[in-house]
A and B are shown apart, each in its own frame.
Chain A
Amino acid sequence: MKKILFLVTILFLSLSIFAQEEDKTKISGEFITDQRLLLDDDYPWVWNENRLSLQCDKKISGSSKFHSDVWFRNMGLPEFYSMSNLYNKTQIDPFNIEIREAYMQTSGFILKNLDFTVGRQFIGWGTADKINPTNNFDAYDFEDLLDFGRRRASDALKLTYYINNYFSVEGVLVPIYRPANLPVGIYSDALYQNFFQSDMLNIIALSDSLILPENKFKENFSSGVSFKGFLAGFDFSVSYVYGRDFLPQPQTVDIYPVDALGNAIIKTELYYPRNNIFGFDLAGEIKCVGVWTEISMVMPADDVILTSNLHTVNPMTYEPMIITADSIILEKNKLYFKYVVGADYSFNHGFYANIQYLHGFLHERGNEELNDYFFIRLDKSLFYDKLKISPVSGAFIISDYSDLENNYALVYYPEISYKPTDNFELILAATIMEGKGDNMFAHLKSFDTFIFKAKYHF
């Protein structure tokens, strides 16, 4: 709490200092309310987010700028179970503050063609729509699973050298490791199930401990380099990143059977393995159709080995014993590929179509675990973009081609947005999910939701 107050004080002091300077300090922002209820018998309220984002932009000189973006939020539903909770405002009215971005950028740093950016910033590598397998600096922000492309900015140093108008080289250093945050609310189990599910056991209690990288630069840092260019009508980039996985991988699992029926208590340790990631992306157009592809080739820096310890009793001596088995989840230096291929086209009369094929969702690892995702979106803009309807929007997921009937998911996400004025937008949407088998969206099939959002820019 003190930390939050400190950050807020610093923020406002910065704003007031900039405001005192004579020109070009811009404060802008957005208010958004996002309310969701389940399409269930009683229509329970499942999401309440009221977010005020404040952006500060300051041109320090012709070639330098400061930018920040801070979210002030009421997030979540009230939780109070006793009189004592009523003394705690954060339980009655949950809120949080998040510094999304705060960085300085200088153009012509030392060299005329060199830009330097320091602070919390989105590195944003990749050209695909929302899902960028080559962006391995900005940690996943899974908080709202329906906004699955959302990332958290990196605390980074970035140097960009422009060779000319068409080619540039970018180097990034992120000194401190920051993992992904997991989904909240009704979506909180969506990824969790993937970590700990078992066909053999009925898990009655689960505990875990995370092994964080040691507090040393060598253990924490991520770095990478990217070469970007424009050739033959296509934007492309090739990149390399040495970094840690944003999501933890299980290292040890201790299984404590409690009876002969398969009920067990599980304790697990997880860690964040290192990877070498080679990336390539391409965007352009073929016959007036916008096309893009993005590929990441992930090479684990070490074997990712899961050690399973079954704590049982020796049937002969009745003494406790541990049966241990190791299994390699990811093999050192064995590449696996995650990729996106997409296309979009703007038709006459305001129709816009966007299709995308993704192999390997954000949380999937290893060649055997990567599922196929097909996304489609068809928008129709009316009345000079005041009204936009997306009647066909969603995804189809296949987790096992050999048994499609039992391993698929369908996501339908229609949306209508209306802008009464330029700065004000109202959105009505719904998510309807259906599926079977082992994939994230099939796990969410009981969470069909109705969504209402209102946004105001200022």
Chain B
Amino acid sequence: MKTKILILTVLFFGVFSMTKAQTASEILDKADNVITTSDDITQNVEITLIDKNKNQQTRTAVLMQKGEDKRLFEFTSPSSYEGVSFLSLPDDVMYLYMPSYGKERRIASSVKNQKFAGTDMSYDDMAAKSYNDNYTPTIKSSDATSWVLELIPKTAGEYSKVLLTIRKIDYIPLKAEFFDKANNKIKVSEFEFAKQGNFWYVKTLTVKDLKTNHTTIMKSSDVKFNQGLSDDIFTVRNLTM
């Protein structure tokens, strides 16, 4: 009995001291690491768009990511979107390739906060970016199971702040709430993570635009880690191939 109590006490104080000791930046850094544990990831994505009248449209895409900051997203259906590709690279560089146009086009900053292909995500949301590199975090609140971090963008953009809920036990992000410049909550994202082997990935991402009552659900399937994706995939050259 004494041994059990001792273990529980050690565990309690251990967790308590661990949580107390961490800064917001450290927590966010660990959350970033959970999201990008593998060197690369390839997955099929099914995107369901649901409007306020519950009408649904479905799109599919392939998403490839290498490291924290290289991502290629290519639509595979419907046919009007097929081949439309979005490439995000380090230093906030983004390209859009449209087969009908025949060449890539760099995405200007004014476009980055626009909705991406009819979804509730902006181009900026779609880019591969670490939270810690782009936001300054502070701990807004904490309970037994999660932290809520307030993230202030390092450079002015679409949002004035983001409230990110992170699960304490494994640093999994659970929810992100986005606020506009007038401090109105405009969008909520909910993450459902799954584990495959040693790696976590976002199995389902639900994004709701609170103004339009429009929802985007992205579901991942056929997820593959560490396939040795070449850097050549994440190039403008590859967009036209």
- Given A384-B51, A384-B115; A346-B108 close (CB under 8 Å): yes
A115-B237 contact in complex given A288-B109, A345-B110, A346-B110, C-beta closer than 8 Å: yes
What are 27 A-B contacts with C-beta separation under 8 Å?
Answer: A26-B82, A28-B79, A107-B241, A115-B237, A115-B241, A122-B102, A160-B237, A162-B237, A165-B235, A288-B108, A288-B110, A289-B110, A290-B108, A290-B111, A345-B108, A346-B113, A347-B110, A348-B113, A350-B114, A384-B49, A384-B115, A386-B118, A422-B78, A422-B81, A423-B79, A457-B79, A458-B79
List residues of chain A with CB within 8 A of the CB of B103. Answer: 124
- Distance to closest chain B CB from A241 (angstroms): 17
Interface residues of B in 58-102 (CB under 8 A from A): 59, 78-82, 102
Given A63-B241, A457-B79, A457-B80, are A235 and B106 neighbors across the interface (CB < 8 Å)? Answer: yes
Q: Mark A380-408, 1 if CB is under 8 A from B, else 0.
A: 00011110000000000000000000000
Contact between A422 and B110 (Cβ–Cβ < 8 Å)? no
B236 at the interface (CB under 8 A from A): yes
Which chain B residues border A346 with CB–CB below 8 Å? 108, 110-111, 113-114
Interface residues of A (CB under 8 A from B): 26, 28, 63, 65, 105, 107, 115, 122, 124, 160, 162, 165, 168, 235, 283-285, 288-290, 344-348, 350, 383-386, 421-423, 425, 457-458
Query: Which residue from chain B places its CB closest to the CB of A343 in the assembled complex?
Result: B108
- Asked if A107 meets B109 with Cβ closer than 8 Å, knowing A423-B79, A457-B78, the reply is no
Contacting A at CB under 8 A, from B192-222, are 212, 214
A384 near B118 with CB under 8 A, answer yes
Residue B227, interface by CB 8 Å: no
Output the least CB separation between A150 and chain B (Å).
12
Rounded to whole Å, the gap between the CB of B178 and the closest CB of chain A is 14
- Cβ–Cβ contact B78 & A423, under 8 A: yes
Chain B residues near A (Cβ < 8 Å): 49, 51, 57, 59, 78-82, 102-103, 106, 108-111, 113-115, 117-118, 212, 214, 235-237, 241
Q: A423–B51 contact, CB under 8 A? A: no
Q: Given A28-B82, A107-B237, answer yes or no on A124-B102 (Cβ-Cβ < 8 Å).
A: yes
- Residue of B102, B109, B110, B237 ringed by the most chain A CB atoms within 10 A: B110
Which 8 pairs from chain A and chain B are nearest by CB? Answer: A290-B108, A457-B80, A288-B109, A422-B78, A285-B108, A457-B79, A346-B110, A384-B118
**Assembly CA distance A288 to B92 (angstroms):** 13
Q: Which residues of A contact B241 (CB under 8 A)?
A: 63, 65, 105, 107, 115
Complex CA distance for A285 and B10, rounded to whole angstroms: 57
Residues of B within 8 A of A63 (CB): 241
Q: Complex formed: what's the CA distance from A290 to B113 in Å? A: 14
The interface centre, meaning the residue of A115, A165, A168, A425 with most chain B CB atoms within 10 A of its CB, is A165
Instruction: Please measure, in the bound complex, the distance between the C-alpha atom of A288 and the C-alpha atom of B124, giving whole angstroms.
Output: 14
Note all chain B residues with C-beta closer than 8 A to A168: 237
Complex interface: chain A residues within 8 A of B102 (CB): 122, 124
CA distance A105 to B102 in the complex (A): 14
A5-B3 Cα distance, complex, nearest whole Å: 90
Residues of B within 8 A of A384 (CB): 49, 51, 115, 118, 212, 214
- Which B residues are CB-close (under 8 A) to A165? 235-237
- Per the bound structure, the CA–CA distance linking A344 and B59 in Å amounts to 28
A288 CA / B107 CA spacing, docked (Å): 10
Residues of the A chain whose Cβ atoms lie less than 8 Å from the Cβ of B214: 384
The complex places the Cα of A122 from the Cα of B102 at a distance, in Å, of 8
> B108: which of A115, A162, A344 is its contact (CB, 8 Å)?
A344
Distance of A118 from chain B, by nearest CB (Å): 15
B81 to A: closest C-beta gap in Å: 7
Q: What chain B residues lie within 8 Å of A235 (beta carbons)?
A: 106
Residue A385 contacts which of B78, B111, B118, B212 (CB distance < 8 angstroms)? B118
The chain A residue with its CB closest to the CB of B109 is: A288
Q: Give Cα A65 to B57, complex, Å.
A: 31
A345 to B57, CA, bound (A): 28
